[in-house]
Amino acid sequence: MSPLLEGKVAIVTGAAHGIGRGHALELARHGARVVVNDLGGAVDGAGAGRDADEVVALIEKAGGTAIADYGNIAVEADVKSLVDRTVAELGRLDIVVNNAGIVRDKAIWNMSTDDFDMVMAVHVRGTWLTTRAAAQHWRGRVQAGEAVRGRIINTTSGAGLSGNFGQSNYATAKAAIVGLTLTTSLELAKLGVTVNAIGPGGMTRITATMAGQPVIEPDDLGPDEYHPMDPAGSSPLVAWLASDESQLITGQVIRAIHDKLYLMKGWHEAASASSNETRWKAETLGSTVATHLFGTRAAGLG
């Protein structure tokens, strides 16, 4: 077991399967005690927690410490209970990995408001609630005179960064998480807390909703075995971002796809045009847009 995260306590949401499972196992491998949060895939509450318990058992078998939590991160009371229980049972909180997610893919003309609201609730509301609860906890510790090195690691995706057909709910949610990451990295910096986002890849139960896609669980592979679609492929990055070594890295988005890491940069000014201090005229704007913004006289413009 590596000492990289020795003495740290981490919450990982959506940690029973796939990417979150990989994160939980990797954090534990480096010495963190882990709270494995997941609804457990139960129907109407029957058998809730079975899947999270399995991850706890894997961590304990390897000599680590973990507890299961079955709360719904989209429910404020459950999130408060999650953080309170973590501190009560494990003594502290250092790391929050916001990973939980669902998909409800349809083209926008077929998507119901329930499809939209459910995805936003888990991804955006859930990430915001856990971030707020952790921030309140760390702020209280700082006000009590304690030095804090907190870590929040959020999860975005290529859909949120570039868009994807059939995912107007999911892509919107993942883009919102980037905005939340950038803003809270500024708000929490003075507390000693860093906030970053990763964009992972892998074959998971979510990708399995697409025809012909298999599922890989992180523990299907050996600890040093490489597979380009291993859902735990981004987990070493998460472990490093969770460590004290990453104290100077905040407000960043890093994609971990196959064997590559990509530092992502957001919207920036790519081209400009000036009206020379006069009001723009819509009827003559086409040639300016085509020539100065896009660098060509586009068909039908100007």
Angle of CA points 197, 13, 211, to nearest 5°: 85
The amino acid occupying position 216 is: I
Strand, helix or coil for residue 90: helix
Dist CA 112 CA 117 (whole Å): 9
- Rounded Cα distance between 90 and 149, Å, is 17
Residue 153 CB partners (closer than 8 Å, separation 6+): 95, 96, 97, 98, 195, 196, 197, 198, 238, 241, 242
Active-site residue among 174, 234, 235, 246? 174
Residue 111 and residue 104 in contact, taking contact as beta carbons nearer than 8 Å: yes
Reference 87, options 11, 189, 194; nearest CA is 11
Is 157 among the catalytic positions? yes
DSSP one-letter string for 239-284:
HHHTSGGGTT--S-EEEEETTEEEEE-----------SSS---GGG
From the candidates 8, 70, 157, 235, give the one annotated as an active-site residue: 157
Residue 80 annotated to the active site = no
Q: Is 262 a catalytic residue?
A: no
What's the CA angle centered on 70, arms 243 and 47, to 5 degrees? 140
Between CA 21 and CA 299 the distance in angstroms is 51
CB 244 within 8 A of CB 149: yes
Do residues 53 and 249 lie in contact, with contact meaning Cβ atoms separated by under 8 Å?
Answer: no
* From 170, 185, 234, 246, active-site residue: 170
Q: Which of 9, 125, 124, 114 minimizes the C-alpha distance to 67?
A: 9
Active site residues: 157, 170, 174
